[in-house]
Structure formats: structure tokens, C-alpha cells
């Protein structure tokens, strides 16, 4: 087992990783930007090193400074969390070069699954269903011909995209032509790669993902599914839950087996997530794989009793999977509380938290890095906290989430807390009648009302 791990991230995930390391008896090094000098993770870690000014490109994406911090502190491994460098194959290669263990899959696996076109092709070879589409769209002519064959509406997607970014829905040839160059430019700016592909747009599908753990000895385990259909217009998830309501045992088994088959085909190791869309007629399609820990991993932890961060660290240390069978107990929900204003198209907010009271009580967990007096910087992802509840069944998990949201008090910045409170009362949500169109429709109803 490692003696010291550097945590190359910030916010709640840095706190989460540091706590897991402490329970494993591993010393930790926090890195921070000048904007995060007083952040919670810097105080919880055994050591803390400033790696640059506030902009992420100069700090949390500054590979040279992070590697130097690891070397200077004698860190044997780096945990990248999610976002930032967590799916950067070049960073994983550099870690290898300096004999620092990257806590995640191999660089070649990250590269293969990070390219959405290549991931689709690998899925097809592994016998995993994918949404009908056309890879490597090079020209306007190719795009219009492919879209005509697929039938509108279609999605323009960035081959290097992820996290809901780099996606545009088009309903006609005129829209397609107008959006192609814009999508390519956006993809270049966001991912350094302008490659695009087209995919048939599914009307109101569910977004289901499978949590995977895989060791370096060929053992792969699926830890059930998560429902992630409640997303905003930018495809950012707001509420996740496990297990997915209304999914039949047969469908659950088929999707999980497909995820494990794909992981076996690419030689996957570490924690990872295979994401699928499930159509109204019950067909499921692979869309992408996230080669890292997910924001929503706590709901899986709550229903399985497995600490995914600890397992991820053990797997990186070369240990075999100690878990042979997973038993799902009860139901879990997660609400992502962000510093955003839903009334202004989820515009991010920043400022000082002037009052804070976190919820507690039976079946309630809060993963956060914020505190009263904390300054929410404008430079990074607006996630403030994850409120997670667990109950014997979905109704109890919802009831506990409603209570937790009522108890949660935060002042000083605009947040999505009021929106979450309203969503948890919506009839369709309570019934589990979910799709990726749920939140846009809900907001439209509120606006019309």
C-alpha cells in the first residue's frame, strides 16, 4: 500500500479522497491555487503546496507544477479525482515516466475511451449496442448525407467531449450546416480536438450508468446502476439515484453485462463508469465511458456499503478485488448543490457564504468543502455540496431528501437549493417517470406558470 498520495484536485472530491486516505493510514499532500489558500482540503491534508495562480490552466492543470509537488513531497501516487487531469492520458503517461502511480486506468485505455468515436467502435467490436451514427464527419457534405440517412433530429457530438459538453441537437439540414463549424470551433477550444461525429437523437431517453471496479489481475465487477436522467439544458446532472426506478431485473442484468464485456475488451482497470441511454421501448445503447471516479459515486456507496475511493486506491496498489458479489440495499438519492442561478439559465455565482447550516440525521450524508465565511471563487466548477440520502426504499429516500433540503441553509450566493426542493415535490419525479427531458419540461412549466 502507498505511504503518501498527492491529491491533484480541489473542492469536495479532494476532501473525499483525503478522508479515504486517512482511513487507510496513508499520508496526503494537497495542492492548491492562490484562490484556494484557505480551502478545506488544504487544512485536512498532512501537507499542502501552492501550485499557481487562480486560473485552472496555471494551477490545477499545470502538469509540471503538480509533478514537481509530488516529487518534492515524496508522493508515491497521485489521485486526480474527477475533472481537471483525471482523464488526461498524457498526464498519466508523465506520472509513469516519473514512477508515480496514477490512480486510474492505463494511459492507452484513457486515450481509447476518451475518444468517443473510438469508444463507439470498441463497443461495437465487443458486441455492445450503440446509437446509430456516423463517425469522423469531415465535411458539410458528409454531414448532410449522414443526417439524411439517420433521420432528423440528430446530435452533433465532439469526439473528445465529455461531461455533457460538446453536444448540439439539430432538427434540419439548415440547422446542421449552421452548427457544424460552431461545434468544431467549440470542440477545439474546449478539448483541443475539433473532430466531430453524428448520432441519432433519441426522444426522451433515460440516462443509466453502470459503476465498474476492475483490478490488474483480470477481475471485473459491476456494482449496479445509477439513474442520471435529471439534467439541465447543458446536460449537467442535478439529481442521481440508485438503483434506477422501474428498471427490470432483466434489463439491469443485460446492461451490467454489456458494461463488463466492454471493460474486459479494453483491459480496463480501476474504478470507471459505462454510460447508456435507454429508450422508451426498453432498448439500451452505450454512449461513453468515464475513466475516473464519478461525482455521483456516493449513491452507489450508500446502497452497496462499498467505499469506492478506498477500493480505487487498493486497486491502484495492485491488490485483487476483494468483493465477489454485490448486494443492493435500499435506495439512495443525491442532489448536486451548485452556486448557479436557475432563473438565469444556470449562470454561475460567486461570493462569500455568510450563513451555513448543513443537514444531518438518519440516512443523510453531505459531501462538501464549504464552510461559513468561505469565499466561492469564480474560477472553477460551481459545485458546493452533494446531499445524499438513503432509505429502505425510494419513498423513504425521497422523504429524507426533502427533510435534508429543508434543513440546509446557505446564504451569500445564489444556489440551486430552491430548485431541488421543487423538483423533489414534482409528481413525475415521485413516480419515477424520468427522462433527460424531465428538467427542461419542468422549467418550461414553471416559466409558463
Task: Express each pLDDT in 356-372 by its tens digit.
Answer: 999 999 999 999 999 99
pLDDT of residue 448: 65
pLDDT in tens, 57-112: 999 999 999 999 999 999 999 999 999 999 999 999 999 999 999 999 999 999 99
Mean pLDDT, residues 8-13: 98
Mean pLDDT of the chain: 95
Report whether pLDDT(162) > 80: no
pLDDT of residue 447: 66
CB atoms within 10 A of CB 441: 13
Query: Considering only CA atoms, which of 83, 293, 263 is closest in space to residue 190?
Result: 83
What pTM was computed for the model? 0.91
- 285, 130 contact by CB (below 8 A): yes
What whole-number distance in Å separates Cα of residue 152 and Cα of residue 405?
40
pLDDT of residue 190: 76
Report whether pLDDT(161) > 80: no
Is 132-200 a domain of CATH 3.90.1650.10? no
pLDDT of residue 164: 61
* 52: β partners: 33
Query: Considering only CA atoms, which of 376, 369, 359, 366 is closest in space to residue 412?
Result: 376
Torsion of CA 224, 300, 41, 44, to 10 degrees: -120
Report whether pLDDT(391) > 80: yes
Mean pLDDT, residues 375-383: 97
Report whether pLDDT(261) > 90: yes
What positions carry a catalytic annotation? Answer: 292
pLDDT in tens, 200-223: 999 899 999 999 999 999 999 999
Dihedral pair phi/psi, residue 242, rounded to 5°: -145, 135
pLDDT of residue 335: 98
Dihedral pair phi/psi, residue 222, rounded to 5°: -100, 130
What fold is seen in the domain 4-103?
Rossmann fold (3.40.50)
State the Cα angle at 275 between 274 and 276, rounded to 5°: 125
Mean pLDDT, residues 228-248: 92
Domain spanning 206-448: which superfamily? ATP-grasp fold, B domain (3.30.470.20)
Domain ranges of the chain: 4-103, 132-200, 206-448
- 435, 206 contact by CB (below 8 A): yes
What whole-number distance in Å separates Cα of residue 300 and Cα of residue 159?
28
Higher pLDDT, 147 or 166: 147
What whole-number distance in Å separates Cα of residue 328 and Cα of residue 423?
25
- 95, 78 contact by CB (below 8 A): yes
Residue length of the chain: 449
pLDDT of residue 163: 59
What whole-number distance in Å separates Cα of residue 435 and Cα of residue 444?
15
Dihedral pair phi/psi, residue 221, rounded to 5°: -135, 135
Count of alpha carbons within 13 Å of 260, Cβ hemisphere only? 17
pLDDT of residue 444: 85
Positive or negative torsion for Cα 197, 199, 205, 207: negative
Mean pLDDT, residues 49-64: 98
Buried/exposed 35-54: b ≥16 CB within 10 Å, e otherwise: bbeebbbbebbebbbbbbee
pLDDT of residue 325: 87
Report whether pLDDT(403) > 70: yes
- 146, 198 contact by CB (below 8 A): yes
What is the DSSP secondary-structure string of 22-79?
HHTT-EEEEEEEGGGTT-HHHHHSSEEEEEESSSGGGTTT-HHHHHHHHHHHT-SEEE
Report whether pLDDT(27) > 70: yes
Q: If pLDDT is split at 50, 70 and 90, which confidence band does 42 have?
A: very high
Amino acid at each position: 500500500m502507498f505511504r503518501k498520495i498527492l491529491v491533484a484536485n480541489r473542492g469536495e472530491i479532494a476532501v473525499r479522497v483525503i478522508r479515504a486516505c486517512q482511513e487507510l493510514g496513508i499520508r496526503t499532500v494537497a495542492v492548491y491555487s492562490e484562490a484556494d489558500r484557505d480551502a478545506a482540503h488544504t487544512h485536512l491534508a498532512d501537507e499542502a503546496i501552492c501550485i499557481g495562480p487562480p486560473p485552472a490552466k496555471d494551477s490545477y492543470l499545470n502538469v509540471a507544477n503538480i509533478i514537481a509537488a509530488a516529487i518534492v513531497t515524496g508522493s508515491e501516487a497521485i489521485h486526480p479525482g474527477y475533472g481537471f487531469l483525471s482523464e488526461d492520458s498524457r498526464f498519466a503517461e508523465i506520472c509513469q515516466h516519473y514512477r508515480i502511480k496514477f490512480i486510474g486506468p492505463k494511459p492507452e485505455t484513457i486515450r481509447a475511451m476518451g475518444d468517443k468515436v473510438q469508444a463507439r467502435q470498441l463497443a461495437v467490436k465487443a458486441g455492445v449496442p450503440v446509437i446509430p451514427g456516423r463517425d469522423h464527419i469531415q465535411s458539410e457534405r458528409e454531414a448532410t448525407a449522414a443526417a439524411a440517412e439517420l433521420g432528423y433530429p440528430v446530435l452533433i457530438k465532439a469526439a473528445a467531449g465529455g461531461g455533457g459538453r460538446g453536444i448540439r441537437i439539430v432538427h434540419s439540414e439548415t440547422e446542421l450546416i449552421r452548427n457544424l463549424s460552431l461545434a468544431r470551433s467549440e470542440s477545439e477550444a474546449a478539448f483541443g480536438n475539433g473532430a466531430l461525429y453524428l448520432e441519432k437523437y433519441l426522444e426522451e431517453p433515460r440516462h443509466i450508468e453502470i459503476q465498474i471496479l476492475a483490478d490488474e489481475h483480470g477481475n471485473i465487477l459491476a456494482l449496479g446502476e445509477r439513474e442520471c436522467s435529471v439534467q439541465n439544458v447543458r446536460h449537467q446532472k442535478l439529481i442521481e439515484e440508485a438503483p434506477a426506478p422501474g428498471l427490470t431485473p432483466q434489463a439491469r442484468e443485460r446492461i451490467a453485462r454489456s458494461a463488463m464485456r466492454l471493460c474486459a475488451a479494453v483491459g480496463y482497470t480501476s474504478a470507471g463508469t459505462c454510460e447508456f441511454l435507454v429508450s422508451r421501448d426498453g432498448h439500451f445503447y452505450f454512449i461513453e465511458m468515464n475513466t475516473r471516479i464519478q461525482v455521483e459515486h456516493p449513491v452507489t456507496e450508500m446502497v452497496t456499503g462499498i467505499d469506492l475511493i478506498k477500493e480505487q486506491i487498493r486497486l491502484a496498489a495492485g491488490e485483487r478485488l476483494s468483493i465477489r458479489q454485490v448486494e443492493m440495499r435500499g435506495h439512495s438519492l443525491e442532489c448536486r448543490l451548485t452556486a448557479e442561478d436557475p432563473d438565469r439559465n444556470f449562470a454561475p455565482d460567486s461570493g462569500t457564504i455568510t450563513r451555513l447550516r448543513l443537514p444531518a440525521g438518519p440516512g443523510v450524508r453531505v459531501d462538501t468543502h464549504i464552510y461559513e465565511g468561505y469565499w466561492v471563487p469564480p474560477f472553477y466548477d460551481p459545485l458546493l455540496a452533494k446531499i445524499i440520502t438513503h432509505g429502505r426504499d425510494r419513498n423513504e429516500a425521497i422523504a429524507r431528501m426533502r427533510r435534508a433540503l429543508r434543513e440546509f441553509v446557505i446564504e451569500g450566493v445564489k444556489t440551486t437549493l430552491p430548485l431541488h426542493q421543487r423538483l423533489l415535490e414534482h409528481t413525475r419525479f415521485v413516480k419515477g417517470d424520468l427522462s433527460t427531458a424531465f428538467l427542461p419540461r419542468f422549467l418550461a412549466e414553471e416559466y409558463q406558470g
